[in-house]
Every structure is written in structure tokens, then in C-alpha cells.
């Protein structure tokens, strides 16, 4: 069978895991309890809570409490999660011409940055380190 097919969620996850492996060790040491998921779109509740009407506007999201805000007295919560949204990522890939690997890396690093409570400038520096 011939033809071109959009990358699957598993393929997007493989790109994201490869990007995670390139994150400097000092950050990776604190990522062990962060789960990574790839879904086609954010669910309606997430979009509603963020005031987003068009599901194509959200390519990724960090769910959790940034490390600097965690406390040993916190009540046990769900593990922190990084969500990547396949269909919006694919649309941005087609619209911008940026490689899918670079786009997934950019979104992933941004969400990792939220996990660490990084500023935008720090996120850009981390992205430069990840390449």
C-alpha cells in the first residue's frame, strides 16, 4: 500500500521521549514521576477551563504542581502529567513547515518548563540545550 499517513500518537510519543532523553541530566533527575501522554485533542473540560474554543489552539499542557510549589505536607495527588495533542501539533507542523521533531521538542520543553516553574527565558535556554 502506498500513500502518506499522518504520524500516529505512538510516533509523536517516540519523538517526545527522544526529546526528554536530550534534556540535561539535572532536569531529568526530577522528571521521574511525570507521565507523558499523547492524545488527539484536549478534552472539553480542559478546553473550557482554559477558555479555549478551538481545540486546534492547544498543542500541549502540563497538569500538576511545579516543583518549587510542592510541599511534603501536600495531600497525595495524581502524578504530574505532560499532555501533547497530536492533531494540533500536526496542523502546526503543516502550517509552519517546522520539522515535526523540532515542534514536538519545543512544546515538550515548554511543558517541562512549567513543571520546574521556569520563566520564558529559562525555557528558551533549556530548549537551546535540548537542540
With 0.85 as the threshold, say if the pTM is over it: yes
pLDDT at residue 102, rounded to an integer: 95
pLDDT at residue 3, rounded to an integer: 53
Nearest in space to 46 (alpha carbons), one of 62, 33, 35, 31:
62
Q: Where do the structural domains in the chain lie, given as residue ranges?
A: 9-66+78-130
**Average pLDDT, 10 consecutive residues per value, the chain (131 residues):** 77 95 88 91 95 96 78 67 97 94 94 85 81 73
Distance CA 107, CA 93 (A): 12
Q: Hey, which CATH number is domain 9-66+78-130, 1.10.101.10, 3.40.50.1820, 3.30.2010.20, 3.30.70.260?
A: 3.30.2010.20
Amino acid at each position: 500500500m502506498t500513500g502518506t499517513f499522518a504520524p500516529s500518537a505512538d510516533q509523536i510519543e517516540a519523538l517526545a521521549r527522544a526529546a526528554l532523553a536530550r534534556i540535561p541530566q539535572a532536569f531529568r533527575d526530577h522528571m521521574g514521576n511525570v507521565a507523558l501522554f499523547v492524545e488527539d485533542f484536549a478534552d472539553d473540560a480542559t478546553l473550557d477551563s482554559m477558555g479555549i474554543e478551538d481545540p486546534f489552539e492547544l498543542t500541549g499542557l502540563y497538569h500538576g504542581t511545579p516543583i518549587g510549589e510542592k510541599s511534603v505536607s501536600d495531600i497525595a495527588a495524581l502524578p504530574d502529567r505532560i499532555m501533547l495533542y497530536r492533531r494540533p501539533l500536526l496542523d502546526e507542523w503543516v502550517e509552519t513547515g517546522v520539522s515535526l521533531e523540532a515542534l514536538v521538542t519545543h512544546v515538550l520543553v515548554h511543558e517541562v518548563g512549567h513543571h520546574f516553574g521556569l520563566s520564558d527565558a529559562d525555557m528558551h535556554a533549556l530548549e537551546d540545550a535540548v537542540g
